[in-house]
Structures are given as structure tokens and as C-alpha cells.
């Protein structure tokens, strides 16, 4: 199980790097998906190796997948709106609210 947990940790760190360094909002959304998947690997690994009864870990992962899909849909709608209003989807452009 340690291997699966380590893989998840590395994947999460890579996603974190993406979220911190991407300028493109779609890139940020993709990195978020990586982090979701890292969490899912943990849930499923714990399900198999620690608490197999009731499939609670897998159930959690299913719900995470659904919520991630909803998040991606709304996120991409916001991206399209940004593009329409600012003609660019880089986070640097969207600094109107900054003071």
C-alpha cells in the first residue's frame, strides 16, 4: 500500500506545482484534476488494504469523480465567459478585482 500512497503523494505534488505555476486557467483546471485523482488513488488503496468492508473508499471515489466533473463543467463555463469579456484566459488578465 505504501507504493500506492507514495504515487498519490507524488501525483498530488505535481498537480500542486501546476496550480501554482500555470498562467492558463484551463491549465489550472487540468492540474486540479490531477490532484483529485491523487486523492482518489488514496481512497481506493485504503479501501483495498485497510477497510475492505462496505466499499466506503470506492464509494467516496465515485462521488469525487462526479463532483470533479461538475467542477470542470462550471470551471470551463467561467473560462469561456472570461474569454468573451477579456479576450484572454490567462490569470494575469483577470486582475480587475485586485487592488
Main-chain phi, psi angles of 22, to 5 degrees: -75, 140
Query: Which value, to the nearest 10 degrees, does the dihedral of the CA atoms of residues 49, 16, 68, 80 take?
Result: -170
> Within 37-76, which residues bind another protein (CB under 8 A)?
37, 40-41, 44-55, 58-59, 61-63, 65-74, 76
Q: How far is the CB of 28 from another protein (least distance, A)?
A: 10
Report d(CA 12, CA 21) in Å as an integer.
Answer: 14
Contacts with another protein by CB under 8 A lie at 1-7, 9-18, 20-24, 26-27, 29-31, 33-34, 37, 40-41, 44-55, 58-59, 61-63, 65-74, 76-81, 83, 89, 91-92
Amino acid at each position: 500500500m505504501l507504493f500506492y500512497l507514495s504515487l498519490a503523494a507524488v501525483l498530488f505534488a505535481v498537480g500542486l506545482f501546476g496550480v501554482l505555476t500555470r498562467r492558463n486557467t484551463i491549465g489550472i483546471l487540468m492540474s486540479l484534476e490531477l490532484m483529485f485523482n491523487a486523492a482518489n488513488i488514496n481512497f481506493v488503496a485504503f479501501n483495498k488494504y485497510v477497510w475492505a468492508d462496505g466499499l466506503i473508499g470506492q464509494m467516496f471515489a465515485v462521488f469525487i469523480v462526479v463532483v470533479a466533473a461538475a467542477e470542470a463543467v462550471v470551471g470551463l463555463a467561467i473560462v469561456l465567459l472570461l474569454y468573451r469579456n477579456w479576450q484572454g484566459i490567462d490569470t494575469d488578465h483577470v486582475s480587475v478585482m485586485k487592488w
